[in-house]
Amino acid sequence: MRQRRWSRVGGVVSSLALVGVLATGCSDGADTGAEAQVGAACDPEADVTITVGERPTSDQAATLEAWENAIAAFEELHPNITIEDEETKYDVSTFSALLVGGTLPTTLQVPFTDIQALVARGQAADITTYVEGDEVLSQLNPQVAGVTQDAEGHTFGVVRAAYTMGLVYDRALFEQAGLDPDAPPATWDEVLDAAATISDKTGETGFIIPTTGNVGGWLLTSMAYSNGSLVQEAEGDTTTVTLDTPGMRESLEFLHDVRWGQDAAGDNFLHDNNTVRDDLAAGYVGQSLNGANLYNSVVISRGMPAEDFGLAPFPAGDDAVGVLGGGNIQWFSPKATPDQLCAALEWTKYYFLDRYVDEEAATTWAESQVADDLPVGLPEVPVVSQEQYETFLGWIEPQVNVPRENYRAYIDSLPDATIVAEPAVKAQELYAALDPVAQAVLTREDADPAELLQAAQAQVQDLVDAG
């Protein structure tokens, strides 16, 4: 029998906190059967079958073997639960149709960005009853877990991984430009100076961000948080969009200075997220902004040398309200029965969380990652207490295969980080409205930030008011 190791979150956890605007939890009328599950008891001994998404693909041999072994071990441990797995992953374009059609798995991963919208539409199961009484789930890092809750404190998912936004930089370009890659920029002024130096000394782009596919808006929102302004305010059921703010204008001024003041933003101002990652991996971009979990995309998938990948805390402006955070949430179908929900939660704990509290699970996971040439030891926001997370790192230390010293500034910033949730209402629509604002500032020297922001604010407010 495995011995569970777990430390209560309580007062020993870091000062890391999560703030933001939570949805009211009201449904737009989608009939998903969610109401029938609220508060209903489950029978943990009942025979039940669940479907789980995200089965690893056949090209991930070691990870797939570990997955299949985990299912077999889980079913041996819980002989009343049968798991049927499938490769289905969350796709916002098909999610609603598949849910209505009853063909979504019982549980799968969704991004932080979308959980509140799913809650508002009644498309996520209320698992409050089962979390409150559970030894493990009731003790997850409450600051991070708060993103899965509505304004009344009801829980609609389990955070299984979390990250914050960060400054991603090319350590090799820093060295070529005469900059110290172990002392990355910490403020917007320092980012601007480094961008100018990189562009001048190497001829490569000193700093650029994606500005299409809603990513420009996502990053502008992150910059506004850093410069002291949120993008929405909520009072009761009323949400007010706040884009024309000092923090947002300061963020646009920075982009203007990089492009027009220092001429350090390169020559492509309509990047999407993929092309910026391509250029980062190829050594054409010195600095950019993105989720701090970018390593896999640019190093594993695009071949950037691991030693060149640099990660620093998101640059700090004056009066920052915090850093925007994201991650992966395990979602549960509102069509599931109470017995299925409890079984799916058992699987979630077993497969995604046990490695943080069980040494054998941690070692098995780390060894399978290494066997598939996947990273072990990347920086992440702990979903458990900092004390327990340090214990986890000790278990996997022999398998760590990334240069954690290259992310030291980022790692050291996490215990004191204030994580701010993404806008709770019409987040993607808000990001989409900000994309052309970022594009305009980078392509027109005389662009008027106030005029652009006022127009975007009115556009998004209309969408929010329309429901």
Q: 185: which 2 tokens?
A: 């920029």
HSE-up of residue 335 (Cα within 13 Å, Cβ side): 16
Residues composing the chain: 467
Q: What is the pLDDT of residue 236?
A: 76
In single-letter form, the type of residue at position 250 comes to E
Q: What percent of the chain has pLDDT over 70?
A: 91
- Give yes or no for a contact between 449 and 252, defined as CB atoms under 8 angstroms apart: yes
Element (H, E) at 108: strand 107-111
Q: Is the pLDDT of residue 19 over 80?
A: no
Summarize the confidence of residues 300-321 as an average pLDDT: 94
Q: What is the pLDDT of residue 415?
A: 84
Q: What is the pLDDT of residue 38?
A: 59
Q: Is the pLDDT of residue 397 over 50?
A: yes
Q: What is the 3-state secondary structure (H, E, C) of 88-152?
A: CCCCCCCHHHHHHHCCCCCEEEEEHHHHHHHHHCCCCCCCHHHHHCCCCHHHCCHHHHHHHECCC
* pLDDT grade for 387, boundaries at 50, 70 and 90: confident
Domains of the chain (ranges; CATH) run: 48-161+326-372 (3.40.190.10), 164-325+399-466 (3.40.190.10)
Summarize the confidence of residues 78-92 as an average pLDDT: 94
Q: Is the pLDDT of residue 55 over 90?
A: yes
Nearest to 213 by CA among 321, 113, 293, 309: 113
Mean pLDDT in the chain? 88
Block residue for tokens 């605007």: 21
The pLDDT tens digits for 188-214 are: 999 999 999 999 999 999 999 999 999
**Which range, of 21-25, 60-64, 135-139, 390-394, averages the lowest pLDDT?**
21-25
Q: What is the pLDDT of residue 4?
A: 30
Summarize the confidence of residues 55-61 as an average pLDDT: 88
The pLDDT tens digits for 114-144 are: 888 899 889 999 999 998 878 778 768 877 8
In single-letter form, the type of residue at position 40 comes to A
The pLDDT tens digits for 329-383 are: 999 999 999 999 999 999 999 998 988 988 998 999 999 899 988 999 999 899 8
Q: What is the pLDDT of residue 357?
A: 87
The pLDDT tens digits for 26-37 are: 333 344 444 445
Q: What is the pLDDT of residue 141?
A: 82
| Collapsed DSSP state (helix, strand, coil) of residue 444 | coil
CA–CA separation, 400 and 39 (whole Å): 42
Q: Is the pLDDT of residue 152 over 80?
A: yes
CA–CA separation, 191 and 208 (whole Å): 11
Summarize the confidence of residues 65-90 as an average pLDDT: 94
**Start-end of H helices in 123-258:** 128-132, 142-145, 171-176, 188-202, 215-226, 246-256
- Give yes or no for a contact between 161 and 383, defined as CB atoms under 8 angstroms apart: yes
Q: pLDDT higher for 465 or 34? A: 465
Supply angle C-alpha 160, 327, 159, rounded to 5: 30
Q: What is the pLDDT of residue 39?
A: 65
DSSP 205: B
Element (H, E) at 298: none
DSSP string, 228-280: T--SEEEETTEEEE--SSHHHHHHHHHHHIIIIIS--S-S-----HHHHHHHH
CA–CA separation, 286 and 170 (whole Å): 5
**Which range, of 174-178, 382-386, 428-432, 439-443, averages the lowest pLDDT?**
382-386
Q: What percent of the chain has pLDDT over 90?
A: 67
Rounded to a whole number of angstroms, the CA Rg of the chain reads 22
The pLDDT tens digits for 210-233 are: 999 999 999 999 999 999 999 999
Nearest to 224 by CA among 84, 66, 434, 57: 434
